Amino acid sequence: MADIAFSSVEKIVKIGLKIKEAADTVRRNEEECQEIQKVVVRVSAILSQLQQTKMMKGPAVDGALIGLEETLDRALKLVVECQEGHIVGRFFTAGGMSKELRRVQDDISQKMMLALFAINVQATIILTNIQSDGAHRLPSQQQALAYQMAENVIGKGGFSNVYKGVLNEELVVAIKKFIIEDDLGSMDFICYNWQKLQHKNIVKFLGYEFQLDCSSFFRIIKGIAQALHFLHEQRIIHRDVKPTNVLLDNDMNPKLADFGIATVLQETEEWDTRVIGDINYIDPVYMTTGRLSTKSDVYNFGVTLLKTVRGMCRSKQPLDDTTPPVKWAWEVHQDGQLKDLFDPSFCDESQLKEMKRFLVIGLLCTEYEQHDRPTMWDVLEMLDGKKEMPAPTERIRFT
């Protein structure tokens, strides 16, 4: 399977070089051909980088790459038609050719996102299989019976308390509850590394549960939105908004951190030939075209919001963690099943309405086209219920 992907990437890169050369010598529809050239060069660079990983395998990845290859081949034929010495009217009128070139550019972006979606799913499956060999998240706090009662305390430290608990009504366990949680991703980091330490003289890690109540969640999300709105007023793009870059103080107030790849905008948007950021949160328009704006942060925020909403679901129904959060949220929104995913004892009716509002806002933030996404000021207004929310579009969602 990996050989098919390797072969497809090689063909895609070769077609990309031909498109680049042809676009440099066109005499008609020059603007459209150069836009295709930009997208194709970026696609080739991204796939060449990903080719070095083990994620480029599986029938879904193979099929997506073959589809992309076919679309690029069609783009090459159109660009060649625009070179001097070819008659534009041979297959299309001048206006028809312009529309066809824009259509094939959109098709390239769509096929590229399908390929990235397939690669991302493959990566998630690999990580899930790794984690399944070690620790698992505890399905419910109730499985450790009354462990936080004072008489069950068996140890205390500067950052945590240790309690005696009973797991699944039979196994006596020690439960460590952290008093200070540095960031939204630190617990996953601790769990992932601890579970790999298998030794007879080292405490075996059985599982974890991250506790975040609805009120704290609402405050955290609004705090992140306020931070991004402030940055955007200063014409600064963070570019790496995700849970692990949000720190929490003792009162659960969020602090946006890690400005290592932040950018100050000189214009309303800029172009960046590099691919920087976490592929699980990155703006697909920036990924495929290099176009960077404050709406790129809005997309990051939307994925973060939806991923956190999914992580807070406490229903007995198992969640498919291999489904990307944006696709998961769209399916939940379409089916109207969000209520069934939350434990009534955890989320009351008014809080459930807020969750539904947050889900829709997350979908609006992750619209494919940048101009269809709200600004962070719009997001704040919608979070507070001061602005009416439009209906999310039905465009395919990948992240």
Question: 3-state secondary structure string, the chain?
Answer: CHHHHHHHHHHHHHHHHHHHHHHCCECCCHHHHHHHHHHHHHHHHHHHHHCCCCCCCCHHHHHHHHHHHHHHHHHHHHHHHCECCCCHHHCCCHHHHHHHHHHHHHHHHHHHHHHHHHHHHHHHHHHHHHHHCCCEECCCHHHECCCCCHHHEEEECCCEEEEEEEECCCEEEEEEEECCCCECCHHHHHHHHHCCCCCCCCCCCCEECCCCCHHHHHHHHHHHHHHHHHHHHCCEECCCCCHHHEEECCCCCEEECCCCCCEECCCCEEECCCCCCCCCCCCHHHHHHCEEEHHHHHHHHHHHHHHHHHHCCCCCCCCCCCCCHHHHHHHHHHHCCHHHHCCCCCCCHHHHHHHHHHHHHHHHHCCCCHHHCCCHHHHHHHHCCCCCCCCCCCCCCCC
pLDDT at 260: 86
On whether both 247 and 128 belong to a single domain, the answer is no
Based on the domain organization, do 98 and 153 belong to the same domain?
A: no
- The pTM for the full model equals 0.65
pLDDT at 347: 72
CATH code (residue 152): 3.30.200.20
- Tell me what pLDDT residue 360 has: 94
Final residue belonging to a domain, choices 132, 166, 194: 132
- The candidate with the shortest Cα–Cα distance to 392, out of 351, 371, 362, is 362
Domain boundary (208, 223, 247) is at: 208
Domain CATH code at residue 112: 1.20.5
Same domain as 323, residue 182: no
In a domain, 11, yes or no: yes
Q: Are residues 316 and 185 in the same domain?
A: no
In a domain, 394, yes or no: no
Residues 270 and 317 in one domain: yes
Point out the domain boundary residue: 103, 132, 161. 132
Residues 6+ away with beta carbon under 8 Å from 226:
380
Number of domains in the chain: 3
Q: How far apart are the first and last CA of the chain?
A: 24
Q: Is 204 annotated as a binding residue?
A: no
What local confidence, expressed as pLDDT, does residue 163 receive? 73
Question: Does 272 reside within a domain?
Answer: yes
pLDDT of 3 reads: 62
Contact 144, 167 (CB under 8 A): yes
What angle separates helix 94-132 from helix 59-81, to the nearest 10 degrees?
Answer: 160
Residue 389 lies in a domain: no
Same-domain check for residues 177 and 249: no
182 is catalytic: no
Q: Are residues 252 and 346 in the same domain?
A: yes
Report the alpha-carbon distance of residue 43 to residue 112 in Å, rounded.
7
Same domain, 376 and 227: yes
Q: Is residue 119 part of a domain?
A: yes
329-387 tens-digit pLDDT? 888 888 877 777 776 666 778 888 888 899 999 999 999 889 999 999 999 999 998 99
Identify whether 391 is part of a domain: no
CATH number at residue 276: 1.10.510.10
pLDDT < 70 stretches in the chain: 1-6, 52-57, 84-95, 121-151, 156-160, 166-172, 176-212, 250, 314-322, 343-346, 395-399
Domain check: are 78 and 128 in the same one?
yes
Which of 183, 240, 283, 378 is flagged as catalytic? Answer: 240
According to the model, what pLDDT value does residue 205 have? 63
Position 128 scores a pLDDT of 53
Query: Does residue 371 lie in a domain region?
Result: yes
> Looking at the structure, do residues 181 and 256 belong to the same domain, yes or no?
no
Do 115 and 10 lie in one domain? The reply is yes
| pLDDT number for residue 200 | 61
Residue 371: give the domain boundaries: 214-383
Which of 209, 202, 203 shows the shortest CA–CA distance to 181? Answer: 209
Asked if residue 393 belongs to a domain, the reply is no
- For residue range 123-151, list pLDDT tens digits in order: 666 555 544 444 444 444 444 444 555 56
Provide the pLDDT for residue 236: 92
Q: Please indicate, yes or no, whether residues 147 and 187 belong to a single structural domain of this protein.
A: yes
| Per-residue pLDDT at 50 | 74
pLDDT at 137: 47
Please give the Cα distance from 83 to 86 (Å, whole number).
6
Look-up of token digits 């601890």: 194
Short-list 316, 328, 314, CA closest to 398: 328
